[in-house]
A and B are shown apart, each in its own frame.
Chain A
Amino acid sequence: RKEVEQDPGPFNVPEGATVAFNCTYSNSASQSFFWYRQDCRKEPKLLMSVYSSGNEDGRFTAQLNRASQYISLLIRDSKLSDSATYLCVVNMNRDDKIIFGKGTRLHILP
């Protein structure tokens, strides 16, 4: 099993819709989780951290399910500008390795 797995998509979603992605991780000892956003031919940028109790930032909600070892990202009222690749990031909590998933591509359709 890969350490961090994501559905590569693409997810083609009409503007205004709600979309959700999941990301599974293999190391149950992992402690830190994040979602990054990457636009085409640009560097990744931090979107939000994922906390155990779940957290929200505007239209974005991130949740952690430790029992099933996955994190999720929910985007409400999607905008054209949300079109990007969303990368799941996990700190494996061993040797300080920070591992990225392969990313999920999202296309918001007008």
Chain B
Amino acid sequence: NAGVTQTPKFQVLKTGQSMTLQCAQDMNHEYMSWYRQDPGMGLRLIHYSVGAGITDQGEVPNGYNVSRSTTEDFPLRLLSAAPSQTSVYFCASSADRRGVLTFGAGSRLTVL
């Protein structure tokens, strides 16, 4: 039982490059979300989805795009990376919308 799988674990980008952080879950969870975690800032919600074809913005959505074409996958796209997007990114999923989340191991992104 893999749970929530995030790839890549580490990535270094140059300013202006684009990339996609992948997130997949095998628990048939409807709810999926992306958070970023910066020192002293806790986890901040970027985007979330309550089901395939439905996405919505969180607290800090600017500079990020998401889509949810299947229940299993919820990729996070950075179209033009900026140094301010250097962070640790966590994907999470849930069987309901209450707040019982299963997290992936995280993706550490550095933008130079």
Contacts and interface: CB of A to CB of B under 8 A. Distances in A.
A49 B103 contact: no
A43 interface: yes
Interface residues of A, number: 25
Interface in A65-98: 87, 89-91, 95-98
B12 interface: no
Contacts of A34: 99-100
Contact of A44 (B40, B44, B45, B90): B90
A24 to B, nearest CB: 14
A91 B98 contact: yes
B43 A44 contact: yes
Contacts of B94: 98
Interface residues of B, number: 25
Interface string A11-51: 00000000000000000000111101000001111100100
Contacts of A99: 45, 59
Contacts of B48: 96-98
B42 A98 contact: no
Nearest to A90: B99
Contact of B104 (A36, A43, A97, A98): A43
A102 B35 CA distance: 12
Contacts of B74: none
Contact of B40 (A91, A97, A98, A102): A102
Interface in B47-101: 48, 50, 56, 58-59, 90, 94, 97-101
Contacts of A32: 98-99
A60 interface: no
B41 interface: yes
Contact of B42 (A43, A49, A96, A101): A101
28 contacts: A8-B40, A31-B98, A33-B99, A34-B99, A36-B101, A42-B106, A43-B105, A43-B106, A44-B43, A44-B90, A44-B101, A44-B103, A45-B103, A46-B100, A46-B101, A49-B100, A87-B43, A89-B101, A91-B98, A96-B31, A96-B50, A97-B48, A97-B58, A98-B48, A98-B99, A100-B43, A101-B42, A102-B42
